[in-house]
């Protein structure tokens, strides 16, 4: 196997024996073959004349891509089924495209790449063998920079696919976004595209990332209201069993809350579900009891102690320990071999969470891990409602600098850097955060500034959009030409492919001088990394002390 799509890749080079995430060789090969099939399907889709496009297939591509993100789907049979479906859709679409082009008197532009017509037959082991031959290091392009940019594009597209799926779950659609997934995937099979074409595609991927995050923001706020500043309890309410919900899918949480109402069961959030407490339609449920535990990588400790059922709505799932294996459930695109799965909702219906509810009633209450609370809910509306005060504080010099510390958390001890930066930033700075990166400092008492907490938590990683909206509003208010002219520094933590998309989105917006850590992506070739340094002043992280000193003078 060879996989280097996430920040925790072995030796910051590539996982070759088994993924640090737990992905084994067979699953890696099956995922590689699924990606290959999706690229073939996309290549066929790109030839469809107007009127032959197939929105259901385009959405399928997004969902199947989502299954290949880090820590989403560890179920080989599910990946195999998705690959079979990809090939079946490819072959059906190819027949329709062929007939439509023939009827319109159109000739074939060029031969389809192999992925567009290879045989679809094979059992799961045959697919694994074929997939092993399509690992990123098995299909390298002779030009290392083209290879690197293809991977950058694929990982950005995976992040885009995940956010598209989240928005579509809430009935917010965008054919443009799905069309770009197709275009970008097909481009990675096109040998006529060189470095400058692929750089342009990566930037367009970033532009679509901004649109996807805006779409998801509209979907979440349209359905659940605008986040409001909210104190979230970190302890447990005594005496009642609980269900723990993790991941990013707010609709799953909503339906679970509705189905558990009045049943004597408390619902707690974990990891990236923490921001749910700020949404009016979710916080209205009195049995939404608090947030339990830390970031995704602490789940094995947290889930063992929780005692009740756990629902994984999206990434990041880790190998379940025996102590809670029969209490953890997946749903949506998440999967884990041997773990209970809650099926999709029928059109207009709800998911059926009764297996978790029945189990919860028979479980002990959670063990308390900590006490206290954290403050969430500083998404764009909550911050902009305070715009005058924020602006006055900036103009008077009371707020000297904002530091965007969005992104992901992870296991590596080097991530202590982000805690150290948060602690070392002076009292006249504000930290803007989104994503699970916040767990490195959101429980510290960093005080307030001008009536605002010094850590403004906009929400999940997709709510990085809120941070951009705040920066843009601030730039407009002070008459700055570009958000780069504001006193804002970026110190971003990344882990998986949604974060790659967030990075491309920031680059598309022209943000310069981003620090990215704990390491730069292994899939950046030396020349591609140098290009990002030269054109965007992208930097790796240094020591907390040096970086804080540099950020305070705008470097
Ligand atoms: Fe984190 Fe995992 Fe939100 Fe990611 S829980 S790491 S970038 O999946 O999606 O921030
Ligand atoms: Fe390794 Fe990350 Fe790939 Fe898992 S997702 S196999 S940890 S590079």
As annotated, the residues of the chain forming the CATH 3.40.50.2030 domain(s) are 230-361, 375-552
Beta-ladder partners of 401:
429
| DSSP classification of residue 15 | B
- CA of 188 from ligand 2 middle (Å) equals 20
Give the list of residues 6+ apart from residue 168 with CB closer than 8 angstroms, or none.
59, 62
Could you read off the pLDDT of 88-120 as tens digits, one per residue? 999 999 999 999 999 999 887 788 999 999 999
E strands within 325-378? 328-331, 335-336, 340-342, 373-376
Q: Which atom of ligand 2 is nearest to the CA of 4?
A: 8
Q: Mean pLDDT lowest for which of 33-42, 51-60, 146-155, 429-438? A: 51-60
Tell me if residue 336 falls in helix, strand or coil. strand
Angle formed at CA 169 by CA 127 and CA 216, multiple of 5 degrees = 110
The yes-or-no verdict on residue 155 having pLDDT over 80 is yes
The yes-or-no verdict on residue 451 having pLDDT over 90 is no
Q: Which atom of ligand 2 is nearest to the CA of 14?
A: 8
Quote the pLDDT of residue 292: 98
CA torsion 235-238-240-241 (nearest 10°) is 50
- CA of 461 from ligand 2 middle (Å) equals 19
Quote the pLDDT of residue 345: 97
- CA of 509 from ligand 2 middle (Å) equals 28
Q: Looking up tokens 């706020």, which residue turns up?
A: 221
Q: What is the 3-state secondary structure (H, E, C) of 415-441?
A: HHHHHHHHHHCCCCEEEEECCHHHHHC
Ligand 2 binding residues, C-beta < 6 A: 3-6, 8-9, 15, 19-21, 23, 70
Quote the pLDDT of residue 132: 97
- CA of 458 from ligand 1 middle (Å) equals 14
The yes-or-no verdict on residue 270 having pLDDT over 80 is yes
Residue nearest atom 2 of ligand 1, based on CA coordinates? 316
Pocket probe for ligand 1: among 461, 466, 492, 504, the residue whose CB has the most ligand atoms within 8 Å is 461
Residue nearest atom 3 of ligand 2, based on CA coordinates? 3
- CA of 464 from ligand 1 middle (Å) equals 12
Of the listed ligands, the closest to the CA of 315 is 1
Q: Which atom of ligand 1 is nearest to the CA of 162?
A: 9
Quote the pLDDT of residue 140: 76
Give the list of residues 6+ apart from residue 153 with CB closer than 8 angstroms, or none.
184, 187, 188, 198, 201, 202, 205
Looking at the domain 1-139, which fold is it? Substrate Binding Domain Of Dnak; Chain:A; Domain 2 (1.20.1270)
Ligand 1 binding residues, C-beta < 6 A: 271-272, 296, 315-316, 408, 435-436, 460-461, 495-496, 498-499
Q: Which atom of ligand 1 is nearest to the CA of 246?
A: 5
Query: Global pTM?
Result: 0.98
Per the prediction, the chain carries an average pLDDT of 97
The yes-or-no verdict on residue 305 having pLDDT over 80 is yes
The yes-or-no verdict on residue 21 having pLDDT over 90 is yes
Q: Which atom of ligand 1 is nearest to the CA of 70?
A: 8
Looking at the domain 375-552, which fold is it? Rossmann fold (3.40.50)
Pocket probe for ligand 1: among 246, 435, 502, the residue whose CB has the most ligand atoms within 8 Å is 435
Of the listed ligands, the closest to the CA of 523 is 2
Could you read off the pLDDT of 375-428 as tens digits, one per residue? 999 999 999 998 898 999 999 999 999 999 999 999 999 999 999 999 999 999
- CA of 78 from ligand 2 middle (Å) equals 19
Quote the pLDDT of residue 136: 94
Q: Which of 109, 114, 37, 137 is nearest to 80 (CA)?
A: 37
Beta-ladder partners of 2:
none
Tell me which H or E stretch contains 457. Answer: strand 455-457
Of the listed ligands, the closest to the CA of 6 is 2
Quote the pLDDT of residue 141: 86
Q: Which atom of ligand 2 is nearest to the CA of 18?
A: 6
513: burial class by Cβ within 10 Å (0-12, 13-18, 19+)? middle
Q: Which of 496, 529, 271, 517 is nearest to 414 (CA)?
A: 517
Of the listed ligands, the closest to the CA of 162 is 1
- Overall average pLDDT of the 477-499 stretch: 95
Tell me which H or E stretch contains 403. Answer: strand 401-404
Of the listed ligands, the closest to the CA of 297 is 1
Q: Which atom of ligand 2 is nearest to the CA of 70?
A: 5
The yes-or-no verdict on residue 156 having pLDDT over 80 is yes
Please, which pLDDT band fits residue 139 given cuts at 50, 70 and 90?
Answer: confident
Quote the pLDDT of residue 504: 98
- Could you tell me the sign of the dihedral formed by the alpha carbons of 95, 97, 98, 99, in that order? positive
| DSSP classification of residue 333 | T
What's the CATH number for 230-361?
3.40.50.2030
- CA of 4 from ligand 1 middle (Å) equals 17
How far apart CA 489 and CA 403 sit, in angstroms, is: 5
- Overall average pLDDT of the 310-332 stretch: 98
- Percent of the chain having pLDDT more than 70? 100
Of the listed ligands, the closest to the CA of 31 is 2
Q: Which atom of ligand 2 is nearest to the CA of 71?
A: 5
């Amino acid at each position: 196997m060879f996989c280097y799509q996430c920040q925790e890749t072995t030796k910051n080079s590539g996982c070759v024996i088994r993924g640090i995430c737990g992905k084994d060789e067979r699953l890696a090969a099956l995922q590689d073959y699924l990606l290959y099939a999706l690229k073939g399907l996309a290549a066929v889709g790109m030839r469809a004349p107007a009127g032959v496009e197939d929105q259901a297939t385009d959405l399928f591509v997004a969902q199947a891509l989502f299954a290949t993100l880090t820590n989403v789907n560890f179920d080989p049979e599910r990946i195999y089924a998705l690959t079979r479906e990809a090939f079946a859709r490819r072959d059906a679409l190819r027949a329709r495209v062929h007939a439509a082009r023939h009827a319109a008197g159109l000739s074939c532009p060029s031969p389809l790449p192999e992925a567009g017509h290879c045989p679809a037959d094979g059992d799961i082991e045959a697919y694994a063998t074929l997939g092993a031959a399509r690992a990123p290091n098995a299909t390298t392009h002779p030009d290392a920079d083209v290879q690197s940019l293809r991977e950058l594009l694929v990982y950005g597209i995976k992040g885009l696919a995940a956010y598209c799926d989240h928005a579509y779950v809430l009935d917010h659609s965008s054919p443009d976004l799905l069309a770009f997934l197709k275009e970008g995937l097909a481009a990675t099979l096109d040998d006529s595209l060189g470095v400058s074409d692929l750089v342009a595609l990566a930037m367009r991927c970033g532009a679509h990332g901004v649109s996807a995050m805006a779409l998801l923001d509209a979907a979440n706020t349209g359905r659940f209201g605008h986040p409001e500043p909210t104190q979230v309890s970190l302890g447990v309410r005594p005496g009642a069993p609980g269900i723990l919900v993790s991941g990013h899918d707010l609709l799953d949480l909503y339906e679970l809350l509705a189905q558990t109402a009045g049943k004597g069961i408390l619902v707690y959030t974990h990891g990236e579900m923490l921001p749910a407490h700020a949404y009016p339609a979710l916080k209205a449920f009195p049995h939404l009891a608090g947030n339990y535990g830390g970031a995704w990588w602490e789940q094995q400790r947290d889930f063992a102690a929780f005692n009740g059922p756990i629902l994984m709505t999206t990434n990041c799932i880790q190998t379940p320990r025996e102590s809670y294996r029969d209490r953890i459930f997946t749903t949506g695109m998440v999967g884990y071999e041997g773990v209970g799965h809650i099926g999709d909702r029928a059109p207009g219906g709800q998911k059926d969470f009764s297996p978790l509810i029945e189990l919860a009633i028979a479980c002990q209450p959670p063990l308390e891990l900590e006490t206290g609370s954290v403050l969430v809910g500083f998404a764009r509306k909550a911050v902009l409602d305070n715009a005058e005060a924020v602006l006055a504080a900036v103009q008077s010099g009371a707020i000297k600098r904002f530091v965007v510390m969005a992104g992901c958390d992870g296991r590596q001890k080097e991530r202590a850097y982000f805690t150290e930066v948060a602690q070392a930033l002076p009292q006249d700075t504000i930290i803007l955060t989104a994503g699970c990166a916040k767990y490195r400092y959101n429980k510290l008492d960093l005080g307030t500034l001008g009536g605002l907490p010094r850590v403004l938590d906009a929400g999940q990683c997709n709510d990085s959009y809120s941070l951009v909206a705040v920066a843009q509003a601030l730039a407009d208010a002070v008459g700055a030409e570009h958000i780069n002219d504001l006193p804002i520094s970026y110190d971003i933590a990344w882990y998986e492919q949604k974060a790659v998309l967030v990075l491309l989105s920031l680059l598309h917006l022209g943000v310069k001088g981003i620090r990215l850590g704990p390491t730069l992506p292994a899939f950046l070739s030396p020349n591609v990394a140098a290009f990002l340094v030269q054109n965007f002043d992208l930097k790796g992280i240094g020591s907390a002390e040096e970086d804080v000193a540099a950020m305070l003078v705008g470097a």
